Amino acid sequence: MKVLVAIDSFKGSLSSLEAGNAVKSGIEKLGCEVLVKPIADGGEGSVEALADALKAKFMDVIVVNPLGEKTPARYALKGELGILEMASASGLPLIEKSRRNPLKTSTYGFGEMILHAASKGARKFIIGIGGSATNDAGTGMLSALGFKFTDERGEALAGTGENLIKIAAISDADVPQSIKDSEFLIACDVDNPLFGENGAAHVYGPQKGADEAAVETLDAGLRSFAGVVSKSLGKELYSEKGAGAAGGLGFGFVSFLRAQLRPGIDIITEQIGLQNDVQGADLIITGEGRLDFQSRMGKTPSGVAKIAARYGVPVIALAGCVSPCAGGCNEHGIGAFFSVLNEPMSLERAMQPAVATQNLARVAEQAVRLFLLGRSAK
């Protein structure tokens, strides 16, 4: 029997590849032919999963964090394909809670990452933009890439949230040809517009450190900047789905870099050729660290199950934790799901790599044994 294992990382415990190999170790003894396919949904761990799946090379670079301080960042490179996570350079965890302020933070360091990848030959980028500490509409990133934002007096402005409302003109005269020639595919799983009550500042500003007054200032800045961009480019993209993602970074990408915003799981399954592997499988094992109501909304388990359903391949999901609201997963192509825990234990112990590996292997074996029993009974 051929089993395809396409399981997301168990955050803080096992990478996608490690989780997949744990499952493999548990079911190979049953005589199964097992293929492990590292996978992610565009969120945390996507660079590692795609790099493992595509055998890409990891690249390390020093950039600035959201407050302009030096920080190490990592991306993956495979020929002309660059695989990046914005959070590596401009993510919320890089700033202590007491210092978070989206009026001051910038995506400049993320732009430095893109420039570095371009200097190494990348011309097609797959980018995850979740978890930002910023609300600068991508102006920091764009500044690092050579775009220039000026006020009414022609003075250059740094790409920060508080400067959005001051921007009066935009120039791309200094953008290198390597960036102009590049293709950007953005993993985006939110559909917020740029501004307004459902926009970047109101929905995500508070978790980035913005108080009520700052939210209003940021929203006014986003609205003002959108007007300048519309006038400059002759097109209105601020209401596009995902424009408000990552503090307006989605808007910056589609407006200035002709980027496509797509669900992360769709981008990644296409890149790793999952559909071809699904067609040759008798069973698929997927999963993630926590299975809950979100798991059926563009996360890895539902994304894998969606492809499996096209070819009638059954799917089993494994998770470190199964929420009471995970039942809806059965209505979205997952035939059965199981928690990998078999006894009470602390979260700290459950997340120890050796313990998680053992638990995954054991439950995977028993789940497949049950599947085989069902087949033999027919």
* One-letter amino acid of 33: E
Alpha helices (H) along 280-342: 300-310
- Let me know whether 19 and 64 are in one domain: no
* 89 and 237 co-located in one domain: yes
**What is the CATH number for 343?**
3.40.50.10350
Residues 259 and 303 placed together within one structural domain of the fold? no
Whether 283 and 232 map to the same domain: the answer is no
Residue finishing a domain among 232, 264, 296: 264
Does 292 lie in the same domain as 242?
Answer: no
Domain boundary among 196, 231, 264: 264
pLDDT score of 80: 97
Number of domains in the chain: 2
Whether 115 and 87 have beta carbons less than 8 Å apart is answered as no
How many CB atoms neighbour CB 272 within 10 A? 20
How high is the pLDDT of residue 323?
86
The predicted model scores a pTM of 0.87
pLDDT for position 11 = 85
Same domain, 85 and 199: yes
- DSSP bridge partners of 85: 128
Longest CA–CA separation in the chain, Å: 79
Q: Are residues 164 and 286 in the same domain?
A: no
**Distance in angstroms (rounded) separating the CA atoms of residues 115 and 138:** 14
pLDDT at residue number 69: 98
Within a 10 A sphere around the Cβ of 154, how many other Cβ atoms?
8
Q: Which residues of the chain have pLDDT under 50?
A: none
CATH number for the domain spanning 96: value is 3.90.1510.10
Considering 241, 264, 287, which residue would you say is the last residue of a domain? 264
Q: Are residues 226 and 362 in the same domain?
A: no
171 and 153 inside one domain: yes
For residues 211 and 312, state if they share a domain: no
Domain that holds residue 59: 46-264
Indicate if 331 and 309 belong to the same structural domain: yes
**99 shares its domain with 117:** yes
